[in-house]
């Protein structure tokens, strides 16, 4: 296999692997821009993945799975909102609690309902989001250079992949070109300014966490209905935290979030690709080291290569009027 083909394949899996990160990171962006830190992206994604897998298995419809995933993760997002907005609780504690609840509940309910060791039944093709073939993908495949890029890299992904990437410009537009976005950014910086301007801080933050719920639901659906054929326990495997890292790395801006997620996706794809292949000069690299690479990079990047990442000023602080 020549270098070009290998590159296309690695990039192709980069796209696939970065989608759940991208959806989760954009989810976190809405919440954190409004001043509500959300360490529970992981848990909401996991619960969404389970709900999607379970609903799709029962109904045989991928769309029913998607709907169930969104409902469940919006519900969890509202629980986080109730704890941290209405009751002004500690946002980190609430997020961690949601992660624990999701990790435990998905296994217990999975075992109780399907008796497959915490899995949901393996899904047939039409209960999943299959690959979409863009027009002329096959006819153009043989065109040199551009053909494989179009046919392999751009065409042939599930609907959710295209949706995830469309959410990047959409999120930018919402944030910087709509009234909702202006208020969202303002409430994350100085909620008192929003309050005295006659806008409800709570309702604004609730809407933001609902956006977070919607997007983590999509991320979970992608994991169990597009990347895999059903739910497997702990299938998020820390992606919610990597998404959080990408969000910080990108300084809470939508387009850099996309590039950060693609970078982490690429490292993942690269690690899978070179497993068992000796590298020039270095020789055989242990699989574990390659798998750890994205995490090592996260630490290195966050430790100082990106400059100072300043979070929204009111982030993590419940809003209380004076006194």
Partner 1 sequence: MAHTAIELNGISKSFGAVHANRNIDLKITAGTIHGIIGENGAGKSTLMSILYGFYQADSGRIQVAGKPASIKTPSAAIALGIGMVHQHFMLVENFTVLENVMLGAEGEALLNTSIAKARDELERLERDYGLEVDPDALIEDLPVGLQQRVEILKALYRGADILILDEPTGVLTPAEADHLFRILRQLKEEGKTVILITHKLREIMAITDNVSVMRQGAMVATRKTAETTVEELAELMVGRHVLLRVEKGEGRAGDVMLSVKNLTVKDSRGVTMVDDVSFDVRAGEIVGIAGVAGNGQSQLLEAITGVRQAVSGTVTLDGTPVELTGEADPVDLRKRGMAHVPEDRHHVGLVLPFEENENAMLGYHWQDKYLKGPLLDIEAIRDDARRKIEKYDIRPADCRLKTANFSGGNQQKIVLAREMEQDPKVLIVGQPTRGVDVGAIEFIHRRLIDMRDQGKAVLLVSVELDEIRSLSDRILVMFAGRVVGERGPEATEGELGLLMAGVEKKEAAE
Instruction: Summarize as ranges the residues that interact with partner 1 (CB under 8 A).
Output: 176-183, 185-186, 189-190, 192-200, 313, 321, 323
Question: How far apart (Å, rounded) are the C-alpha atoms in residues 225 and 206?
Answer: 28
- Minimum CB distance to partner 1 smaller for 13 or for 190: 190
Write a three-state SS string for 51-74.
Answer: HHHHHHHHHCCHHHHHHHHHHHHH
**Contact call for residues 253 and 7 (beta carbons, < 8 A):** no
DSSP 132: E
Contacts of 185 (CB under 8 A, 6+ apart): 33, 175, 312
The residue assigned the tokens 């208020």 is 183
Q: How far apart are the first and last CA of the chain?
A: 69
CB of 186 to partner 1, least distance (A): 5
Q: How far is the CB of 92 from partner 1 (least distance, A)?
A: 24
* Least distance from partner 1 to the Cβ atom of residue 192, Å: 5
Closer by beta carbon to partner 1, 185 or else 233:
185
Rounded-to-10 torsion of CA 291, 221, 9, 289: 0
CB of 256 to partner 1, least distance (A): 17
Q: Whole-number minimum distance, CB 196 to partner 1, in Å?
A: 4
Q: Of 180 and 295, which has the nearer Cβ to partner 1?
A: 180
CB nearer partner 1, residue 87 or residue 177: 177
């Amino acid at each position: 296999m020549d270098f070009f083909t290998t590159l296309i394949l690695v990039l192709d899996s980069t796209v696939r692997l970065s989608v759940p990160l991208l959806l989760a990171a954009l989810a976190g962006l809405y919440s954190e821009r409004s001043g509500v830190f959300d360490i529970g992206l992981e848990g909401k994604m996991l619960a969404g993945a389970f709900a999607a897998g379970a609903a799709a298995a029962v109904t045989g419809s991928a769309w029913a799975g998607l709907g169930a995933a969104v409902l469940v993760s919006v519900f969890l997002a509202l629980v986080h909102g109730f704890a941290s907005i209405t009751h002004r609780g500690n946002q980190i504690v609430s997020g961690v609690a949601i992660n624990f609840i999701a990790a435990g509940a998905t296994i217990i309910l999975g075992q109780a309902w399907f008796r497959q060791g915490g899995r949901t039944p393996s899904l047939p093709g039409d209960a999943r989001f299959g690959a979409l073939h863009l027009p002329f993908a096959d006819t153009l495949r043989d065109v040199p250079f551009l053909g494989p890029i179009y046919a392999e890299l751009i065409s042939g992904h599930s609907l959710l992949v295209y949706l995830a990437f469309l959410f990047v410009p959409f999120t930018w537009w919402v944030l910087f070109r709509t009234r909702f976005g202006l208020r969202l950014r303002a409430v994350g910086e100085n909620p008192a300014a929003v309050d005295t301007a006659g806008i409800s801080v709570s309702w604004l933050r609730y809407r933001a966490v609902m956006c977070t719920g919607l997007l983590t639901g999509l991320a979970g659906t992608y994991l169990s209905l597009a990347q895999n054929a059903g739910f497997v326990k702990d299938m998020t495997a820390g992606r919610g935290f990597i998404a959080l890292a990408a969000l910080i790395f990108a300084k809470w801006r939508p387009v850099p979030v996309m590039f950060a997620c693609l970078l982490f996706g690429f490292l993942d794809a690269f690690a899978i690709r070179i497993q068992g292949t000796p590298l020039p000069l270095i020789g055989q690299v242990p699989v574990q080291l390659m798998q750890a690479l994205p995490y090592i990079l996260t630490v290195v990047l966050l430790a100082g290569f990106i400059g100072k990442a300043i979070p929204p000023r009111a982030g993590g602080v419940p809003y209380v009027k004076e006194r």
